[in-house]
Amino acid sequence: MARLHWICRRAGRCVHILFALYPAWPISFWQLVALGMETARETPTISGLFVIAGERMWGKWIWVAGLFLTIVVWWKRGKAWDRRSLIDVSILAGMMIAPVGWSYDQVMLLFPLLRIVEWVTNGFLARKDAVTVVLVLIISDAATFYERILTPNEVWYFWVPLLVAIVYAFAWRRRQTRLLTLAPKTA
């Protein structure tokens, strides 16, 4: 309980600092959502992919459907998740459907990626699974460098959060399976 109070105090201080540095931020944010969403943006997300495909309405508003889906999933299952997993999944989902953003925003994927690295290095994954995860991540990193040479268009980086989410889900499931097999048997 004391930790929760500490977090709330820190969050309150951050909000005070934000208001002190930029008092009009709520209005600015509302204008971005209300007016800025009038234009569909080619972002490196599924929203941007819809815009490129000509589905501008889906590109502008898919995040609302994603928000409702997130609320339903959290309501049904998320309350039992630990905070770190909730943060990882939130980042992955947000990076996939965000209506605004650029490929350099994908640096936020470091949080779920570091969790995967933790599972690999601490032996929570079987050796074969760990090697598979590491190879997929290295190959995808090389592919993004190569892709940057071929195309400067941001929207074609939509696959990076999707791939990280798939690798995260794979590693999480394999970790759960391994933890169950390694757990001491009680008779």
Closest to 34 in 3D by CA, of 8, 56, 16, 60? 60
Instruction: Please check whether residues 57 and 16 belong to one and the same domain.
Output: no
pLDDT score at 34: 65
Averaged confidence pLDDT in the chain: 83
Whether 187 maps to a domain, the answer reads: no
Range of the domain at 125: 40-182
Yes or no: say if 124 and 178 are a contact pair by the CB < 8 Å rule: yes
In the predicted model, what is the mean pLDDT of residues 5-22? Answer: 79
Determine the Cα–Cα distance for residues 48 and 62; give it in Å rounded to an integer: 10
Instruction: Please check whether residues 1 and 57 belong to one and the same domain.
Output: no
pLDDT score at 180: 78
In the predicted model, what is the mean pLDDT of residues 93-110? Answer: 83
Instruction: Please check whether residues 72 and 13 belong to one and the same domain.
Output: no
In the predicted model, what is the mean pLDDT of residues 40-61? Answer: 80
Amino acid present at 135: L
pLDDT score at 98: 82
Structural domains in the chain (count) = 2
Determine the Cα–Cα distance for residues 66 and 60; give it in Å rounded to an integer: 12
| pLDDT-wise least confident of 20-24, 90-94, 120-124, 137-141 | 20-24
pLDDT tier at 33, thresholds 50, 70, 90: low
Determine the Cα–Cα distance for residues 79 and 69; give it in Å rounded to an integer: 15
State yes or no: pLDDT of 101 exceeds 80: no
Instruction: Please check whether residues 50 and 16 belong to one and the same domain.
Output: no
State yes or no: pLDDT of 172 exceeds 90: yes
- Residue 60: CB atoms within 10 A of its CB come to 19
